[in-house]
Structure 1
């Protein structure tokens, strides 16, 4: 019969030892089968943190005894606690902390017409913190090695005219107003724009899940993308689960954030924003992707044909046409009535593709090059390189050797 161990609110230090069925807790070596009790509110906090209620968790984990643990009817074993923590994406040690950690997404996340999003989303939080960790390492590495990167962070303000901001951006990226016309697909446009941004010193990451965990999907309704401002290592994250035309808009919207020197993210519907800075970034993206002078020249009352040429979404085309007086209020309302009934446009599901090619997008080529160089120069250990890239052992070696 295992012992029972009761924990209050103080942190109970524990350490896994070199035995698969043992854990060192409070200086005593315990079996993984020993029963442990923790404060019931810790379970509730862990569930809420992961976006669950007791009911929703039981629906997805019908064999769980979480309700009995909360009521105190049953005490879990350490192994059961560990399994529970993994199921809610929580380090098991958090259940024993004296004070619960304060976890807040460090940048504002805006949701289309809904304005600022205030609720906590664990997948978004973990994604932002992961990118921020990369950025912090990059900043130190680039400074130590005196490597020049991006020059345009904080180069404009919301008082800068949209035309001037777009003109500067075209010069930085070396893209003229009809740059997308010669490309075959929005995917090609995203690739070219991404390369231009990396050449200009912006670090990019694309992902539709948290890290490499395909069970933790990053919903477009929670995050389409975000920008983390840093003069040395500015970062843009794009949700790869989004449609390619939407990714294109996100890239320029977040680039405008970098130019303004304001970190933020956006989520939800494709509707434009009401908040002043977000609205400004929307206008920069719209003019960059669908220049007014070019749209006036080619407009034939067909949003689909214009979308194919600019590689922007039909919604962006319609809104631009309406704002420029090319589409009447009635025509725009008719368009919206049809467009809003469509399912949210997302990329087509594929058979999965190459893990390594996907990893290039998730890690980011520019970032991976710096990590590889730092390891080769013995400025970074393999353990830290694994953590920063999310790739381990032979997978890391293959990735760096054959893909970067």
Structure 2
């Protein structure tokens, strides 16, 4: 886009962005001396000026192009409002949720306009949440997983990618990142959250915190998928916040049953050889962490608390290797790992068919115009 082109942004979008930034207006005015004219629609910024303003206010650039401000209740009503008091959520997490919600809103509308059916057809939410085994089996059927599907994967990363692909084949959007957008200075805190899910009948979206261990990401991916079945938005936090305790407890049990079926555990477990080596081997077989497996064994009364404690101590001293988010690798491999294939391909389809403008596609995909054609080639190359 030429630098002289002006971008018309609605006044209410400016007002939302300024409020969201929590910055003093005078501070903004000192940095952008035309901000009052922009607010009053007397003048309009260039694309570059708008980009700088969005970066300064720390709001997603794409939101500046909206017709109306983002839904105000994304955080306030859908995520753990406790006694009308919103729990603390960092700016980084909040911006990530807003960005994913904007992308989800677009693809949901696109799918509805193009005759897509709703993603989840079975009435899972009508099932008794206590029917752990039944729901876990139905979830596996939905994803077309074989009874012993995990045996095909000796590397957990490959198992994770496999599960992600199965979800994508069903139309579920799976995103992951370890930073806010492409800003390497805004790392997502694994101590705050491991992932979240935004429910939508046409485009349910799972976001995975890429700073987690690979086995942690597998657990989160399945956990959030189960939330989709129950049509319940979720943030999987590492903080001890009050939640719908029964639902969360049961969804965790369903997740565990899918990843570590009780019948399989009892088949594999050698009661005469209760040691760390056996736990290590079985955790690799099921693509779960040693501690997750140890807790599962304890709950099945196959080991005692002292062995769980030993596993916990070993885990603390030998932390699982986390996925690197350095920018030193192939840019497009990193990009593909962050973005849902469903999402990227649909945006490209919309742009190429003329249903959305190229500029809007660039913003949804978080790429510059000069990289768009390269992205199209990369999508074809990795299919």
Q: 2:169 aligns with which of 191, 194, 199?
A: 199
Instruction: Please tell me whether the aligned partners of residues 104 and 120 of structure 1 are also in contact (alpha carbons under 8 angstroms).
Output: no
In the TM superposition, what is the alpha-carbon distance from 1:86 to its structure 2 partner? 4.2
Matches within 5 A, 1:51-66: none
Q: 2:328 aligns with which of 345, 352, 357?
A: 352
Give per-residue Cα distances to partners, 1:17-45, cap 9 Å, x unaligned: 959xxxxxxxxxxxxxxxxxxxxxx9994
Instruction: Please tell me whether the aligned partners of residues 158 and 280 of structure 1 are also in contact (alpha carbons under 8 angstroms).
Output: no
Classify 1:183/1:87 alpha carbon distance in 2 versus 1 (closer, same or farther; 3 Å).
same
Instruction: Please tell me whether the aligned partners of residues 104 and 125 of structure 1 are also in contact (alpha carbons under 8 angstroms).
Output: no
Instruction: Please tell me whether the aligned partners of residues 59 and 95 of structure 2 are also in contact (alpha carbons under 8 angstroms).
Output: no
Instruction: Please tell me whether the aligned partners of residues 188 and 209 of structure 2 are also in contact (alpha carbons under 8 angstroms).
Output: yes
- CA distance, structure 2, for counterparts of residue 399 and residue 174 of structure 1: 30
- CA distance, structure 2, for counterparts of residue 205 and residue 158 of structure 1: 28
Matches within 5 A, 1:21-170: 45-46=22-23, 76=30, 78=32, 86=55, 89=58, 105=75, 107-108=78-79, 118-148=87-117, 150-152=119-121, 155-157=124-126, 159-160=128-129, 161-170=131-140
Structure 1: gaps (5+ residues): 1-16, 20-41, 48-68, 95-100, 111-115
- CA distance, structure 2, for counterparts of residue 328 and residue 356 of structure 1: 47
Structure 2: gaps (5+ residues): 6-18, 36-48, 65-70
Classify 1:87/1:295 alpha carbon distance in 2 versus 1 (closer, same or farther; 3 Å).
same
Between 1:184-193 and 1:345-354, the stretch displaced more is 345-354
- Matched residue SS, 1:189: helix
Matches within 5 A, 1:378-389: 378-389=354-365
In the TM superposition, what is the alpha-carbon distance from 1:357 to its structure 2 partner? 1.6
Provide the alpha-carbon RMSD of the alignment.
3.7
Number of aligned residue pairs: 333
Counterpart of 1:211? 181
Classify 1:274/1:336 alpha carbon distance in 2 versus 1 (closer, same or farther; 3 Å).
farther
Q: Is the aligned partner of 1:316 residue 2:292?
A: yes
Between 1:131-140 and 1:329-338, the stretch displaced more is 329-338
Instruction: Please tell me whether the aligned partners of residues 226 and 265 of structure 1 are also in contact (alpha carbons under 8 angstroms).
Output: yes
In the TM superposition, what is the alpha-carbon distance from 1:102 to its structure 2 partner? 6.4
Structure 1 length-normalised TM: 0.72
Counterpart of 2:254? 284
Instruction: Please tell me whether the aligned partners of residues 119 and 170 of structure 2 are also in contact (alpha carbons under 8 angstroms).
Output: yes
In the TM superposition, what is the alpha-carbon distance from 1:400 to its structure 2 partner? 1.6
Counterpart of 2:155? 185
- CA distance, structure 1, for counterparts of residue 32 and residue 102 of structure 2: 30
In the TM superposition, what is the alpha-carbon distance from 1:336 to its structure 2 partner? 2.7
- Matched residue SS, 2:153: coil
Where is the strand percentage greater, Structure 1 or Structure 2?
Answer: 1
In the TM superposition, what is the alpha-carbon distance from 1:265 to its structure 2 partner? 0.9
- CA distance, structure 2, for counterparts of residue 203 and residue 118 of structure 1: 26
Classify 1:45/1:117 alpha carbon distance in 2 versus 1 (closer, same or farther; 3 Å).
closer
Classify 1:88/1:385 alpha carbon distance in 2 versus 1 (closer, same or farther; 3 Å).
closer
In the TM superposition, what is the alpha-carbon distance from 1:130 to its structure 2 partner? 1.1
- CA distance, structure 2, for counterparts of residue 299 and residue 188 of structure 1: 24
Instruction: Specify the structure having the higher radius of gyration (Cα).
Output: 1
Instruction: Please tell me whether the aligned partners of residues 123 and 210 of structure 1 are also in contact (alpha carbons under 8 angstroms).
Output: yes
Instruction: Please tell me whether the aligned partners of residues 109 and 266 of structure 1 are also in contact (alpha carbons under 8 angstroms).
Output: no
Q: 1:393 aligns with which of 366, 369, 379?
A: 369
- CA distance, structure 2, for counterparts of residue 223 and residue 304 of structure 1: 26
Classify 1:102/1:108 alpha carbon distance in 2 versus 1 (closer, same or farther; 3 Å).
closer
Counterpart of 1:50? none
